[in-house]
Amino acid sequence: MTRCGRKSRGGTSRIWAASWRRSASRWTRSCSTPRISRSTRWSNACSRRSNGLEGRGAENVPKTGPVLVVTNHSSVLDPPAVGALAPRPLYYLAKAELFRIPLFGRFIHALHARPVRRGAADPSALRTALRVLEGGGALLVFPEATRQPEGRLGPGRSGAGMLALLSGAPVVPAYVSGTGRAWPKGRRLPRPAKVRVHFGKPMHFDWRPERDRKEQYAAASHGMMAAIATLMDGAK
């Protein structure tokens, strides 16, 4: 386990700073490039020690090749927190409205976010996600598709299962705690809180042509949420 030690005062702002430093150094790199410079590793390690972040199981994330990292979602801090502790760059999809917020939109784009329309079918989102995976990248996905209160899990939607089955990529479940206390939905500004991320063992979902397509998508998403729930129980 990576212990970050000390108090988490100001930790939420440093979560963003840690991810920003990692993203800035890779701004012009393609999603298929998993290499991280020594200086970036050193900078990120220093940030983890001082910002109240604590991680476990990062070795479960393959360092090369396509992978889906699926986790619970309780705060806008989830992507930078998971990204700061992952051993490689993570791409993720975010609702399109966020990209229209001055400065913030540019910031999350720098953190490898890609826009998706909520509440409507968006074929381009699926194409973007598959393109990342086909290029050998790592994609962060929230199966719940919307934020939940800290310590609670919502049902997994079929989109995550669809990505896993169509891409054939391994799936690494993760559980994030503390971000919902640091910056819950509805709160204007973040507050200090200890944030922990636990990465589980990789999972694989195999396509079976004899079974109903939509049922397989739903079953895969359910399996992801079950794995996240197991990690949550272990974190208590």
pLDDT tens-digit series, residues 114-137: 787 765 566 778 888 999 999 999
Nearest to 87 by CA among 32, 29, 24, 40: 40
Distance CA 127, CA 28 (A): 21
DSSP letter (8 states) at residue 136: T
pLDDT at residue 223 tops 90: yes
Mean pLDDT score, 91-117: 81
Residue whose tokens read 């966020």: 98
- At the topology level, CATH places domain 11-235 in Glycerol-3-phosphate (1)-acyltransferase (3.40.1130)
Residue closest to 81 by CA, chosen among 193, 220, 209: 193
Question: What is the rounded CA–CA span in Å between residue 67 and residue 176?
Answer: 18
Nearest by Cα to 91 from 109, 71, 75, 76: 109
Query: Residue 70: phi, psi to the nearest 5?
Result: -115, 135
d(CA 31, CA 132): 6
Across 56-79, average pLDDT: 96
Largest CA distance in the chain: 54
Q: How far apart are CA 236 and CA 139, in angstroms?
A: 27
Condensed to tens digits (0 to 9), the pLDDT of residues 188-221 reads: 888 889 999 999 999 999 999 999 999 999 999 9
- CA distances (Å), 231 to each of 175, 198, 210, in order? 6, 7, 32
Quick check: 52 and 194 in contact, CB under 8 A? yes
Distance, in Å, from the CA atom of 47 to the CA atom of 42, rounded to the nearest integer, reads 9
